[in-house]
């Protein structure tokens, strides 16, 4: 009997010493992260979102409490703490000072009109749950766009006037048609107006070539050369070199880029001199041959040789 009493007394003493040995760690508002780690040790995990930092610590009741102990810092200063462990205490005002029971949660849900029997999570920040999944995306996105279609349909129907039986239909105004010169087919068909505009450059080029050839034909005849030579490519250059009194090998210079333009100017200036014209007239023969060659051929200029 005495041995049983001594063992019971030893058990009570050990429990008392254990209860006294468990110290309560207090976290104060405004502490820095280093101060919190100095008191509570290294956290299980830490998350930083902008200027907010969350430190998670074990409390021994993660499954029943639904969360770990959490210290929340803003700009490296403690602004909130959620503790479920009896060994941790927050001297400030906690956003969740105690765990809500399932009965309290159901009563709160009924008072708000929610008939669901699910127990809500404790009133803690979303980051407080250990490795909590991010909140799901809104699942009623289609429900928002559906009414827009149902509203748009009546407005379209309302915009259409209803013609009652026997009522006179309103007279339709004749469509305004653009002038004939401005009509262009949408499908790409060529109208007479666009065909005339497209033919203008071709007609102008043809007229320019006819005037040039007719003037050079007449000028060749004045220089005692066959007029038809003006119509033969390459040979007309040979005749021009002969009139300008230049060697025949100059014909090769017409094959050299840039040089051929300079040689042409020199040849035409020499041709102009043979008809008692100046250098400016020769430049006119080079760049405006359809105007100056008819003046040279059909005008009063005479070949001086």
Q: What is the pLDDT of residues 56-104, one digit of tens each?
A: 999 888 887 878 889 999 999 999 999 888 888 899 889 888 777 667 7
Q: Give the residue-averaged pLDDT of 135-151.
A: 46
179 domain-assigned: no
38 domain-assigned: yes
Query: What's the confidence (pLDDT) of residue 285?
Result: 92
- The whole-angstrom separation of Cα 33 and Cα 38 is 9
Tell me which of 85, 103, 130 is where a domain ends.
Answer: 130
* Residue percentage of the chain with pLDDT more than 70: 65
Residue 146 confidence class, pLDDT cut points 50, 70, 90: very low
186 domain-assigned: no
229 domain-assigned: yes
Q: Give the residue-averaged pLDDT of 291-299.
A: 92
- Tell me the residue range of the domain where 222 lies: 197-298
Q: Are residues 126 and 203 in the same domain?
A: no
From residue 16, alpha-carbon distances to 5, 13, 21, 138, 261 in Å are 16, 5, 8, 54, 117
1 domain-assigned: no
* Model confidence at 153: pLDDT above 50: no
Determine if residue 89 is left, alpha or beta; phi over 0 gives left, psi from -120 to 50 gives alpha, anything else beta: beta
Query: What's the confidence (pLDDT) of residue 190?
Result: 59
* Model confidence at 298: pLDDT above 90: yes
Query: What's the confidence (pLDDT) of residue 33?
Result: 92
Tell me which of 109, 130, 151 is where a domain ends.
Answer: 130
176 domain-assigned: no
- The whole-angstrom separation of Cα 291 and Cα 285 is 8
Between these two residues, 136 and 262, which has the higher pLDDT value?
Answer: 262
Residue 125 confidence class, pLDDT cut points 50, 70, 90: very low
191 domain-assigned: no
Structurally, the chain folds into a number of domains equal to 2
Query: What's the confidence (pLDDT) of residue 170?
Result: 55
Q: Are residues 211 and 116 in the same domain?
A: no
Query: What's the confidence (pLDDT) of residue 60?
Result: 83
- The whole-angstrom separation of Cα 214 and Cα 223 is 14
Average pLDDT value over all residues in the chain: 76
* Residue percentage of the chain with pLDDT more than 90: 44
160 domain-assigned: no
Query: What's the confidence (pLDDT) of residue 105?
Result: 67
Closest CA to 27 of 74, 72, 66, 61: 72
Closest CA to 66 of 122, 136, 127, 107: 122
* Model confidence at 212: pLDDT above 70: yes
- Choose the most confident range, by mean pLDDT, from 63-67, 96-100, 111-115, 259-263: 259-263
The pTM for the full model equals: 0.37
* Model confidence at 272: pLDDT above 70: yes
* Model confidence at 241: pLDDT above 90: yes
Tell me which of 104, 130, 156 is where a domain ends.
Answer: 130
Closest CA to 124 of 93, 99, 90: 99
């Amino acid at each position: 009997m005495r041995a049983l009493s001594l063992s019971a007394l030893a058990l009570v003493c050990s429990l008392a010493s254990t209860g006294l040995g468990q110290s309560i760690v207090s976290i104060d508002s405004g502490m820095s992260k280093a101060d919190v780690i100095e008191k509570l040790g290294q956290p299980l995990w830490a998350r930083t979102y902008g200027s907010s930092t969350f430190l998670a610590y074990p409390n021994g009741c993660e499954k029943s409490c639904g969360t770990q102990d959490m210290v929340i810092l803003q700009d490296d200063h403690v602004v909130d703490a959620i503790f479920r462990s009896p060994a941790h205490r927050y001297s400030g005002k906690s956003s969740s000072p105690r765990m809500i029971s399932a009965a309290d949660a159901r009563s709160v849900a009924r008072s708000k009109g929610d008939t669901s029997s699910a127990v809500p999570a404790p009133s803690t920040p979303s980051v407080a749950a250990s490795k909590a999944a991010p909140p799901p995306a809104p699942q009623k996105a289609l429900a928002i766009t559906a009414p827009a279609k149902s509203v748009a349909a009546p407005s379209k129907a309302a915009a259409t006037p209803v013609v009652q039986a026997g009522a006179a239909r309103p007279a339709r105004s004749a469509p305004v048609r653009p002038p004939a010169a401005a009509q262009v087919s949408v499908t790409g068909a060529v109208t007479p107006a666009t065909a005339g505009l497209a033919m203008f450059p071709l007609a102008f080029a043809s007229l320019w070539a006819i005037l040039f050839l007719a003037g050079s034909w007449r000028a060749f005849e004045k220089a005692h050369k066959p007029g038809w030579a003006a119509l033969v490519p390459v040979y007309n250059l040979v005749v021009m070199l002969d009139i300008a009194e230049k060697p025949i090998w100059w014909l090769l210079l017409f094959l050299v880029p840039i040089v051929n333009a300079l040689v042409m100017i020199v040849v035409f200036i020499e041709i102009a001199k043979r008809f008692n014209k100046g250098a400016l007239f020769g430049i006119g023969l080079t760049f405006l041959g359809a105007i100056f060659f008819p003046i040279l051929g059909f005008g009063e200029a005479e070949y001086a040789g």
